[in-house]
Amino acid sequence: MATLKAKFIIEILGRPVEHLEKSLSDLIEKLGTEKGVSLLHKEINKAKKVEKTDNLWTAFADIDLSFESLPLFLNIVMTYLPAHVEIYEPDMFKMNAFETNEFANFVVSRLHNYDALAKRMMGEREILISKLEYIRKGGDPKVVFATPEQPSQPVSNQESNKEKPKKDKKKKSK
């Protein structure tokens, strides 16, 4: 297959502004060094402050790329997630069954990874909510947020009362 040429718009959001501009430049350079990808043209725009935010900036770049194959193009799109994509060469192309299967499996793999990440985040959210609810009801934050190095277990009132007299007796007898 002949090479495929496309225009990408890559946009990023963050702070500080210096880091944002460097990150965008580095991302474009990395994209241009991907195997089978050639960077034909790049235009990086100056970062602009996002209105109604404290120190949050956005920057975008308009780049032209050449790809050795359609599956490579599709993989790069899924990996870099540009804000906009426009193929301008060739006008038409064919993809064989192997290439179609390869890309479909790549997409399915990505979707499974995103699904697993979303489920993990929802589980962690539920745990955090239950811990915050425990604290809201008067629980000890040290118990909730104990580190693995210093585990802290909730102690019932009966157990804590039993331990205190033993310590007090030793102190009094000396």
156 has a pLDDT exceeding 90: no
Q: Taking the model in full, what pTM does it have?
A: 0.62
Please name each of the domains of the chain with its CATH number. Answer: 4-95 (3.30.70), 140-173 (no CATH)
pLDDT of 36-62, one tens digit each?
999 999 999 988 999 988 888 999 999
Give the long-range contacts of residues 94-99, CB within 8 A, separation 24 or more: 94/1, 95/70, 95/71, 99/69, 99/70, 99/71
Q: What are the phi and psi torsion angles at 159 (to 5°)?
A: -65, -40
Provide the pairing of β-strand 57-67 with 48-49.
Answer: antiparallel
pLDDT of 86-139, one tens digit each?
999 998 877 789 888 888 898 898 899 999 999 999 999 999 999 888 888 888
Q: How far is CA 139 from CA 142, 146, 160, 168, in A?
A: 9, 13, 15, 26
